[in-house]
């Protein structure tokens, strides 16, 4: 009897054994709740004669999409319509993240400027845009383009080929030519070469102490390779310039008011938070580090690249990742101003087919992919930039 009591008491006071029991109980509870919800949902759908599954993706969409990176018509299937929405969301998120990081870094550095005017302007911007809800900012920029800008006939044109009106920003682009494909390939080749040059320069510096001008070499390669392709192709200069015909412009490239309003709202709002992240990261580096670097003769640019940024990035990257994720998720607000992102297209598909569960599930999967991809990349970059103590 004593042995049994001792075994029983030891089981309940053993944290490892208790944890297994608790996890098993939690798993059973989760399975029961999931079974109940799924069975109840399927019963209700069957009662209302609502079809389930993703077979609707092969049906004709029968609705147009205002903006698309690929060719699309109402005769295409729902799968292609959703793909168009996916690409639109990806485009907004990718461009928005790049512009946000650039603007936020500039504002964060300006926030630390010793110039009174620059410092106060950066502070005022940060305080203003952080305190205004992002949805309200989207409405403001949307109203700005449609209510405050003139019509196409009275479009603002700072110089030939560029027009700004309530139909968006319209500007000229180079006429289609085979050489531009080769120029794009040249840029990719230049990026690969720069990658290896940077690794070689870093190794050379650690062995000899000599600094190779990687930045200027990179600029030369990125400009020189495409320029060389352009010269070999005969220097084509033909332009596709927009021309006013009827009530709108024909030709050139047009950036719609919806896209511009969405991008402006997301970038200006998120950049205010990124600026504070950058400021905090720079201030986390001891002033003695900067003073010591200047004392040994390093130039201001070298102090920033070699001393401040490597130490500040370990503080900047984690919260910067959160802001990137916030921008991507906030892009779902595009439906409020009529931009056809994935949420908007999926919402239209849900309204037409009644496949609400499948549509919402697709939305969740898409944003989960965006979030996990961003997190994975930033985690990789964070490990790459980590300072290794020896």
Specify the pLDDT at position 242: 86
Measured distance CA(189)–CA(203) in Å, rounded: 22
What's the Cα-to-Cα distance from 331 to each of 268, 271, 364, 369, rounded to whole Å? Answer: 13, 14, 14, 14
Q: How many distinct helices (H) and strands (E) make up the chain?
A: 13, 7
- Cα dihedral angle (200, 205, 206, 208), rounded to 10 degrees? 120
Spans of the chain below 70 pLDDT: 1-12, 45, 48-51, 387-390
Specify the pLDDT at position 390: 55
CB within 8 Å of 344: residues ≥ 6 apart: 85, 334, 335, 338
Specify the pLDDT at position 11: 62
Measured distance CA(36)–CA(52) in Å, rounded: 17
Specify the pLDDT at position 1: 46
What's the Cα-to-Cα distance from 157 to each of 154, 165, 172, 196, rounded to whole Å? Answer: 9, 9, 12, 44
Q: Residue 86 in contact with residue 72, Cβ under 8 Å?
A: no
Q: Residue 166 in contact with residue 149, Cβ under 8 Å?
A: yes
- Count of CB atoms situated within 10 Å of the CB of 279: 22
- Judged by DSSP in three states, 133 sits in coil
Q: Residue 258 in contact with residue 333, Cβ under 8 Å?
A: no
Q: Which one, of 58, 59, 60, lies nearest residue 75 by Cα? A: 60
pTM of the shown model: 0.81
């Amino acid at each position: 009897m004593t042995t049994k009591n001792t075994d029983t008491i030891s089981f309940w006071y053993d944290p490892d054994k208790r944890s297994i029991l608790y996890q098993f109980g939690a798993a059973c509870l989760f399975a029961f709740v999931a079974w109940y919800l799924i069975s109840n949902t399927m019963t209700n759908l069957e009662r209302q004669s609502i079809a389930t599954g993703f077979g609707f993706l092969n049906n004709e969409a029968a609705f147009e999409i205002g903006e698309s990176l690929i060719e699309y018509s109402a005769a295409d299937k729902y799968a292609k319509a959703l793909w168009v929405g996916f690409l639109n969301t990806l485009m907004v998120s990718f461009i928005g993240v790049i512009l946000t990081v650039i603007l936020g870094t500039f504002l964060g550095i300006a926030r630390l400027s010793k110039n009174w005017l620059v410092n106060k302007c950066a502070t005022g911007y940060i305080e203003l845009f952080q305190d205004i809800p992002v949805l309200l900012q989207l409405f403001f920029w949307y109203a700005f383009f449609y209510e405050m800008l003139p019509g196409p006939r009275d479009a603002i044109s700072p110089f030939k080929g560029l027009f700004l009106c309530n139909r968006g920003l319209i500007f000229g682009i180079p006429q289609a030519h085979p050489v531009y494909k080769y120029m794009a390939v040249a840029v990719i080749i230049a990026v690969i070469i720069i990658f290896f040059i940077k690794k070689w320069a870093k190794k050379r510096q650690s062995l000899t102490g000599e600094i190779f001008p990687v930045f200027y070499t990179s600029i030369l390669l990125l400009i020189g390779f495409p320029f060389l392709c352009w010269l070999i192709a005969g220097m084509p200069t033909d332009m596709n310039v927009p021309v006013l015909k009827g009530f709108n412009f024909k030709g050139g490239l047009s950036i719609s008011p919806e896209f511009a309003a969405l991008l402006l709202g997301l970038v200006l709002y998120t950049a205010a938070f990124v600026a504070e992240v950058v400021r905090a990261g720079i201030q986390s580096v001891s002033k003695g580090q900067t003073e010591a670097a200047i004392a040994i003769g390093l130039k201001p640019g070298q102090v920033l690249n070699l001393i401040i940024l490597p130490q500040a990035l370990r503080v900047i990257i984690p919260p910067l990742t959160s802001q990137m994720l916030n921008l991507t998720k906030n892009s779902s607000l595009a439906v409020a101003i009529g931009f056809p992102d994935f949420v908007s297209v999926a919402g239209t598909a849900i309204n037409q087919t009644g496949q609400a569960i499948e549509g919402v599930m697709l939305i969740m999967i898409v944003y989960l992919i965006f979030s996990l991809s961003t997190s994975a990349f930033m985690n990789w970059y964070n490990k790459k930039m980590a300072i290794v103590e020896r």
